[in-house]
Amino acid sequence: MDDPQQAEMAPPEDAPAGAPARPLPHSVRGVFVNYIDYRRPRFFARPSARPAVDYGDLDFLPDYSRGYNSILDHCNGLLLYGNAWLYCVANPATRRWARLPRMDANDYVPYLVFDPALSHGYEVLLIRREPEKPKKFDLIEFLSLLDDVSGVEEDTENEGQGEPAVEPLPLMQSIDDLHRLTEWPPSEWTLPVFSLATGEWQERSFVREGEAVKTMASMQLDAVQPMEWGPRWRYSVYWRGALYVHCRGGFVARLSLSDDRYLVFNTPVDVEESKHARPYLGKSEKGVYFATVHKYNNLLRVWNLTESSGQLDWVLKHTIELDESTLWAAARFYQHKIKGPWILEDDNNDDVKNKILPLKENIEWNSDDDNVMSDEGGCEDQYGHIYFLGFHPYKEVIFLGLSFIGVAYHLNSSKVQYLGKLHPKDYCTTYSNGIYESFMYTPCMVGEL
């Protein structure tokens, strides 16, 4: 049973001896979903018998109903909402929010960090979408490149004297080659960071441990590869005082917020394979997880990140052929217009009668019994577009989307649960539209918000 009142208890790091522990979020209440070309996010969850707290009602946020702002991140009950010029941190459980100082972050991806067990405060880190080119050149190396160019031109003039002709390199290409000599990630990585403690944006430098895994040349090639399907692959995980970020180029950066150090390591799949397998970084029962669903055969693979004697390693835990499981039975439920236990909040008010259930009913999602699919029969009309909605943070369960169908898949038992429909009734479906991002939501009643 996923009871939202259930919580772990832990004392804050800065609390005096004997201070009472703070309750930590320990339940999945729903999923916040961003849609492509849709005016606002939606909340996908099981209706609650406690109408005093409507987690999906975010109308108190600026331009929530009118604008095209998004949920940008979630961490332990707090949401980061807005766009590149407007950042708001909000707590849906308390309906409190705060606007961050204006920051032109059009070239950045924001990440929210919040741990109520350690502190009431939160931080927002900005990481560039693509590597930044160096502002200063190494003059000696630059002149060396120019000498190489003139040497090539001399070879061209001496063409016919026994040496093959060589096409001279354009000067601007030589300058770009110089940019590509820069190591990435850098030995010292400086990021804009907002901290509630200071109330302002400040530059914060993280010193790299170990070697870089990419050069700028290869990093730039990877960065321009488009994601033509599925959510972004820049998700993050906050785990045991460190922020793990899935970066372009097929690697993960782990930033330690306690000592301002970071390291980078490869994902379990390389860049080439990532072009054919939808990747997802998330947190589950045993920490940091990485999963892929192959684009063509729907093969699901799940790894868990382990650390032994200071060495990080991806351990393959599950390999599952989704198209041979009972997953496809959810399509039959969808085709027959069967309502699942979860609904999209404020879906044209059609589900108002079901929005609040009688108190005598068990209204929380039952991860053991709710709408379990039979493993007999399956469905002939399969949906080939599968993407991740997220990991259950406390159980080895993943939430998947099949087009606009939500299901829960139990990794250890292969049990499948049909959750409901993810398609807003006023959302026009086209070839390019669909779910862009999703964030599992765990309520939290503590902290500044």
Give the range among 33-37, 115-119, 218-222, 407-411 with minimum mean pLDDT: 218-222
Which span out of 376-380, 401-405, 430-434 was modeled with the highest average pLDDT?
401-405
pLDDT at 257 (0 to 100) = 94
Q: What percent of the chain has pLDDT over 70?
A: 63
| Cβ atoms 168, 146 nearer than 8 A | no
- Locate the domains of the chain by residue range: 7-133+183-441, 139-157+165-180
Tens digit of each residue's pLDDT (9 = 90 or more) over 265-309:
999 988 777 778 888 999 999 999 999 998 888 889 999 999 988
CB 444 within 8 A of CB 91: yes
Paired with 96 in beta bridges are 91
State residue 128's pLDDT score.
86
| Strand ranges across the sheet with 108-114 | 108-114, 122-128, 188-195, 200-208, 261-266, 251-256, 242-247, 236-239
Cα 66 to Cα 32, 38, 62, 63: the distances in Å are 17, 10, 9, 5
For residues 416 and 413, give the distance between their C-alpha atoms in angstroms, rounded to a whole number. 9
pLDDT of residue 294: 87
Q: pLDDT averaged over the chain?
A: 75
Q: Does residue 144 surpass a pLDDT of 50?
A: yes
- How far apart CA 265 and CA 251 sit, in angstroms, is 6
pLDDT the model gives residue 206: 97
Residue 369 reports pLDDT greater than 70 = no
pLDDT tens digits, one per residue of 146-196: 565 555 445 545 555 555 554 554 544 454 544 444 566 788 999 999 999
The arithmetic mean of pLDDT across residues 117-146, rounded, is: 70
Instruction: Summarize pLDDT for 409-447 with one digit per residue, the tens.
Output: 999 988 888 898 898 988 887 777 888 899 999 998 876
Query: Which residues, 6 or more positions from 394, have their beta carbon under 8 angstroms from its beta carbon?
Result: 26, 28, 284, 285
Which residues on neighbouring strands pair with residue 386, listed in sequence order?
Answer: 402
Mean pLDDT of 18-22: 44
On the question of pLDDT at 331 being above 70, the answer is no
Which amino acid would we find at residue 272? E
d(CA 92, CA 49): 17
Architecture of domain 7-133+183-441: 7 Propeller (2.130)
**For residue 439, what pLDDT is reported?**
95
CA distance 334 to 332: 5
User: Can you give the pTM of this predicted structure?
Assistant: 0.79
Which spans in 270-320 are helix H?
271-274
pLDDT, one tens digit per residue, over 203-212 is 999 999 988 7
2 vs 71 pLDDT, higher one:
71
Q: How far is CA 210 from the centre of its chain?
A: 25
Whether 5 contacts 24, CB under 8 Å: no
Is the per-residue pLDDT at 400 higher than 60? yes
DSSP annotation string for 108-130 = EEEEEEE-TTT-S-EEEEEEESS
Rounded alpha-carbon distances, angstroms, from residue 234 to 43, 272, 422: 21, 17, 22
The answer to whether the beta carbons of residues 398 and 408 sit under 8 Å apart is yes
C-alpha distances out from residue 63 to 44, 76, 96, 351, Å: 20, 24, 16, 24
Q: What is the DSSP letter of 372?
A: B
Output the pLDDT for position 259: 95
The pLDDT of residue 240: 92
Query: pLDDT tens digits for 46-70?
Result: 886 555 568 888 999 988 877 789 9
pLDDT at 355 over 60: no
User: 4 preceded by cis ω (within 30°)?
Assistant: no
pLDDT in the model for residue 298: 84
Lookup: tokens for 407? 């299901």
How many C-beta neighbours within 10 Å does residue 11 have?
Answer: 15
Instruction: Identify the pLDDT of residue 9.
Output: 38
Higher pLDDT, 55 or 218: 55
Residue 315, H or E segment: strand 311-321
